[in-house]
């Protein structure tokens, strides 16, 4: 082999070694970045992701089942209306169409009411500092599930307290702390709210103070009491 060929081979070998050496710091940097991740924050994010995934799955399954049932019911109504018209029973067919239109109108009104409810909830949640969008969505769903509507169409918590008061209590409950950003420690020490006295289990809601009702509402324990 000539000297020129030997020189070319040596240059290629040196180039390959240089590229290998230059790539190693990139891998080390990537490993270092993974080690710097906060394990607590990662654990919380994993928990939120799993909970949201389960909730999304249940919502999809419920919506699919409701849609299927609605389609079957609608097909049966249309078949009945067609049968009545073919038999010359136009009055009965017209009454069924009218009832169907009224039912659709009621659904639209309920959806509009729910939108108003969600707007109130979201406006209150906007004042809170959540860890991320997933945690905000989880809180929103949890809160909405505990709201009820009165005869006037107004929404409140099932205990009777306002949405604003319930959300304020909800945000201060330690059980829900993983949803919110951790506030900087002032150094004065953290004061944990005292738990409700066991004597509250023997009270009815009418005998409780507003503070006791708020605490129980935030913990989802109101179902254990007599109204």
Side-chain-side CA neighbours of 189 within 13 Å: the count stands at: 3
Residue 99 has a pLDDT of 87
Residue 131 to residue 144: CA distance in whole angstroms: 19
**Six-digit token pair at 200?**
């509250």
User: Which range among 29-43, 69-83, 112-126 shows the weakest confidence by mean pLDDT?
Assistant: 29-43
Residue 31 has a pLDDT of 44
pLDDT single digits (tens) 46-71: 888 888 888 888 888 888 888 888 78
Residue 139 to residue 137: CA distance in whole angstroms: 5
pLDDT single digits (tens) 105-157: 888 888 888 888 899 899 999 999 998 998 999 999 999 999 998 887 788 99
Residue 44 to residue 131: CA distance in whole angstroms: 9
What is the residue extent of each domain of the chain? 40-181+205-221
Do 167 and 124 meet the contact criterion of CB atoms below 8 Å apart?
yes
More confident residue, 183 or 147: 147
pTM reported for the whole predicted model: 0.44
CA dist list (Å): 224 to 86, 167, 217: 56, 20, 11
Residues 6+ apart with CB under 8 A from 74: none
User: Which range among 29-43, 46-60, 196-210 shows the weakest confidence by mean pLDDT?
Assistant: 196-210
Residues 6+ apart with CB under 8 A from 70: none
């Amino acid at each position: 082999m000539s000297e020129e060929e030997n020189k070319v081979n040596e240059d290629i070998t040196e180039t390959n070694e240089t590229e290998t050496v230059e790539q190693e710091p990139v891998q080390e940097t990537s490993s270092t970045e993974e080690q710097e991740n906060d394990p607590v924050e990662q654990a919380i994010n994993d928990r939120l992701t799993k909970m949201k995934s389960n909730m999304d799955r249940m919502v999809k399954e419920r919506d699919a089942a409701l849609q299927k049932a609605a389609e079957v019911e609608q097909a049966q109504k249309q078949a009945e209306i067609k049968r009545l018209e073919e038999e010359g029973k136009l009055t009965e067919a017209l009454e069924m169409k009218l009832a169907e239109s009224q039912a659709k109108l009621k659904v639209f009104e309920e959806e509009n009411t729910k939108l108003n409810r969600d707007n109130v909830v979201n406006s209150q949640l906007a004042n809170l500092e959540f860890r991320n969008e997933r945690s905000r969505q989880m809180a929103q769903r949890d809160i909405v599930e505990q709201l009820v509507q009165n005869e006037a169409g107004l929404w409140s918590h099932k205990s009777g307290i306002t949405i604003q008061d319930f959300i304020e209590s909800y945000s201060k409950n330690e059980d829900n702390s993983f949803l919110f950003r951790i506030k900087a420690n002032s150094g004065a020490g953290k004061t944990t709210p005292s738990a409700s006295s066991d004597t509250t289990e023997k009270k009815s809601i009418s005998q409780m103070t507003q503070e006791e009702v708020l605490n129980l509402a935030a913990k989802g324990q109101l179902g254990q009491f007599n109204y």
